[in-house]
Structure 1
Amino acid sequence: MDIKLCVIGLGKMGSTLVKGFIQSKTLEREQIIGTDLFEYESEKNTNYCDIRTMSNNVQAVKESDIILLAIKPQIINKVLREISPHCENKIVISIAAGVSLHHLERALPISTKIIRAMPNTPILVGEGVIAISKNKNINDKDLNIVKEILESVGNVYLVEEYMMDTITALSGSGPAYVYIMIEALSDGGVLMGLPRELSTELAARTFLGAARMVLEEDKHPGALKDMVTSPGGTSIRGIEVLESHGIRGILMDAVKEATKRSKELNSQRGGNFD
């Protein structure tokens, strides 16, 4: 892939993406420039897989074909004002939470090709979910390039932008729900006499295995549940307890309320680019 990529923001998500791009051999280190306000000039920064780093966003954007904004939404307007004059006909990918395509289009030149992306934290282990939506300037070639780059750290799904708030609530916040469930199952194991380390590992691997079954067996989750649930057995007794406490409603409400909160936050993120 003969492109030059600039990653603006080398925090946890930005640096993880850089690592994934290089380790997967999707891009060579020479194809990536990383910028961060607190980074020093280096032709080979050992902290970031030996990529070139600098603090000058404008210079990095001038030298790049694709700009990936891995920055917090609170500072995105400042960065957009800074780089906008140099983004003509370039691809800009934003992973800033809650910053809409419309918001980005208002700040960037009319010819800019814009992707809004929502990755979740499992990109840290190469198992991310990354939802993307695009503006009208993105053609099939552009889309394929972006997908190839992002697929090095997870599974990429092209969606309509109106779905982004719900995806944020489901796959963006979802790992937090799962961590709570893993912790709770581990507590249950400890309560009944298992050592903590073993109990946590069993709980985590149970989630991992069950998730792979859902993805690979081509069966409805309910059918897979029935495979585990024998008449009068242990699983149905445990399910009875979960259902009596409204486990389904609790999880559905979590997604609903997180979606509403995402919409509230997005409505507060207006933009003034003057």
Structure 2
Amino acid sequence: MKIGFIGSGNMGGAIARGIVKSGVVKGEEVFLYDVNPAASEALARDIGGKAVKTAAELTDAAQIFVLAVKPVYVKDALRACGDGLKDKAVVSIVAGLTGTALARQLPAGARCLQTMPNTPAMVNEGVTALCEENTLTEEEMAFVRRMFESIGRVFVLPARLIEAESAVAGSGPAYAAMFIEAMADGGVLLGLPRAQAMQMAAQTLIGTAKMMLESGRHPGAIKDMVCSPGGTTIEAVRALEKGAFRSDVIEAVVAAGEKALAIKRETEKG
């Protein structure tokens, strides 16, 4: 299936590289359009794809499209594509753009799907939500699932849970990065060189996550494995609990979810 990318930035580029590297499509089946031609040309060289000069060339070349532009450029990008998207499929990775809001901006007969990938997709360790409420064909949906599985894990969710996924997985890299930074700061305070402390903290999160995902163990069980009676780790856990660590994380996720819902309501007003 020939695929066109409307936008060739970080996330669009990550998906394009992932689908070519994993063999979902061949490089020559990927077409790229960007208002900054240098971006699409560089990505095309990287994956063996084809950069096109106009939106019309893009819509003529492909059957399914990934809308990968910043939210402020959505209207201009879709206007440039115009009726060329009629009877074709558009997959949005634009943050905050609901399927309803996207459908309003597409020509009659165009099919669409809202998705929500997160930034670790750039290293093929992403989380992507696919909205259950969509108008893609079964064949297109299967292709899109394979596409996002090439850059991480995929979850199909009802529209009402997309903002919750965004609050956990979309914003989650920021929470994780803050935790890594704080762990490293603690190590520096205890005398570790910063570069080593940062690597130790980051690798510890990678390893812990891998243990949980591969073993199926509950996070609490993994915590208990490390907490020896009267030991250093249980003392650290006590300090975190005194500071309401878990409650603060829950509140952060809820705050992100509430903000995402507010943005959704605004975009659906049109």
Establish whether TM, by shorter chain, passes 0.5: yes
> Which of 251, 258, 261 is matched with 2:259 structurally?
261
Aligned-pair CA distance for 1:43: 8.4
Name the residue aligned to 1:104: 102
Which residue identity lines up with residue 226 of structure 2 in the other structure? V
Aligned-pair CA distance for 1:222: 1.1
- Deviation track 1:199-235 (CA, whole Å, cap 9, x = no partner) reads 1111111100110111111221112211111111111
Name the residue aligned to 2:217: 219
Paired residues of 1:58 and 1:83 also in contact (CA < 8 A): yes
Name the residue aligned to 2:164: 166
**Gap change, CA 1:45 and 1:251, over 3 Å in 2:** closer
Name the residue aligned to 2:128: 130
Which residue identity lines up with residue 144 of structure 1 in the other structure? A
Name the residue aligned to 1:70: 68
Q: Give identity over the alignment, percent.
A: 34
> Which of 48, 58, 61 is matched with 1:60 structurally?
58
Aligned-pair CA distance for 1:120: 0.6
Aligned-pair CA distance for 1:9: 0.4
Which residue identity lines up with residue 166 of structure 2 in the other structure? T
Cα separation, 1, equivalents of 2:269 and 2:76: 10
Cα separation, 2, equivalents of 1:183 and 1:41: 32
- Deviation track 1:124-159 (CA, whole Å, cap 9, x = no partner) reads 111000111144532332211111112111111111
Paired residues of 1:128 and 1:155 also in contact (CA < 8 A): yes
> Which of 227, 230, 247 is matched with 2:228 structurally?
230
Paired residues of 1:10 and 1:34 also in contact (CA < 8 A): yes
Cα separation, 2, equivalents of 1:41 and 1:74: 18
Count of residues paired in the alignment: 270
Structure 1 stretches of at least 4 aligned residues deviating more than 3 Å after TM superposition = 40-48
Cα separation, 1, equivalents of 2:78 and 2:269: 10
Paired residue secondary structure (1:81):
helix
**Gap change, CA 1:135 and 1:46, over 3 Å in 2:** closer
Q: Which runs of 5+ in 1 are unaligned?
A: none
**Gap change, CA 1:225 and 1:255, over 3 Å in 2:** same
Aligned-pair CA distance for 1:113: 2.3
**Gap change, CA 1:41 and 1:139, over 3 Å in 2:** closer
Paired residues of 1:40 and 1:53 also in contact (CA < 8 A): no
Cα separation, 2, equivalents of 1:151 and 1:58: 29
Q: Which runs of 5+ in 2 are unaligned?
A: none
- In the TM superposition, 1:1-150 aligns within 5 A as 3-39=1-37, 47-150=45-148
**Gap change, CA 1:80 and 1:44, over 3 Å in 2:** closer
**With structure 2 as the length reference, what TM-score do the two structures score?**
0.93
Cα separation, 2, equivalents of 1:64 and 1:135: 23
**CA RMSD, aligned part only?**
2.0
